[in-house]
């Protein structure tokens, strides 16, 4: 093709060797057809054409692949009750902290017992904890009663506040209803006053008209 490239470049020296080469390939090494291709439109490289075809095929494969469904999130899990959020944000009371410590001690005792049952080695300094299991259980029962009583008091306080909030809202609605009723009454009073004024003026007009008619008759 080197000789053919030279022939084409003698006709069209403004084109480079690569452009002429691509035109000759597309023109099946016909010099005149290659010249026509160069003059009419820039020849498309076969390599570029292959790359374009590969990109198109890849895009079609992507389109054919089914889209993965987005993960379904349970609405119940996404929506957290306000009471639960308030409970999580509330700092623990001393009784709750004490109950948490006692339960931790009980778990330690139970782990020691499990290790002894499994014939595992236990630190001798940990063995005295086993003697306190009964006392720990008794203290847990007492602490749970205190925590339950605190929870009951908090629940009563929450209900009291909700009731107070409802009472305030009802009072606001009542005041708003009275205000609207007062405005409606004032509007009707203004309309009645305007109607009475219009009626008075009409009566005066009629009376004046009748007086003028009498005067004309008397003349």
Residue 64's pLDDT band (boundaries 50, 70, 90)? very low
Evaluate if residue 85 carries a pLDDT over 80. no
Q: Which residue has the higher pLDDT, 154 or 76?
A: 154
Contacts of 95 (CB under 8 A, 6+ apart): 143, 146, 147, 150
User: Is the per-residue pLDDT at 165 higher than 90?
Assistant: yes
Token code pair at residue 171: 């009072």
**Between 189 and 48, residue with greater pLDDT:** 189
pTM, two decimals, is 0.43
Query: Band of the pLDDT at 160, cuts 50, 70, 90?
Result: very high
């Amino acid at each position: 093709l080197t000789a053919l490239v030279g022939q084409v470049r003698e006709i069209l020296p403004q084109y480079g060797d690569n452009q002429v080469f691509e035109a000759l390939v597309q023109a099946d090494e016909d010099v005149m057809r290659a010249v026509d291709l160069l003059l009419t439109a820039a020849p498309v490289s076969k390599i570029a054409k292959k790359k374009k075809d590969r990109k198109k095929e890849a895009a079609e494969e992507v389109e054919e692949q089914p889209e993965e469904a987005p993960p379904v999130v349970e609405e119940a899990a996404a929506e957290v009750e306000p009471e639960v959020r308030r409970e999580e944000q509330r700092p623990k009371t001393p009784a709750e902290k004490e109950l948490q410590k006692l339960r931790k001690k009980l778990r330690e005792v139970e782990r020691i017992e499990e290790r002894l049952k499994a014939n595992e080695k236990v630190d001798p300094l940990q063995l005295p904890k086993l003697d306190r299991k009964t006392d720990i259980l008794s203290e847990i029962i007492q602490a749970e009663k205190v925590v339950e009583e605190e929870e009951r008091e908090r629940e009563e306080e929450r209900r009291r506040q909700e009731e107070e909030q409802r009472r305030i809202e009802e009072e606001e609605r009542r005041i708003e209803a009275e205000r609207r009723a007062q405005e409606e009454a004032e509007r009707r009073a203004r309309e009645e006053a305007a109607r009475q004024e219009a009626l008075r003026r009409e009566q005066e007009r009629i009376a004046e008209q009748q007086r003028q008619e009498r005067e004309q008759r008397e003349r």
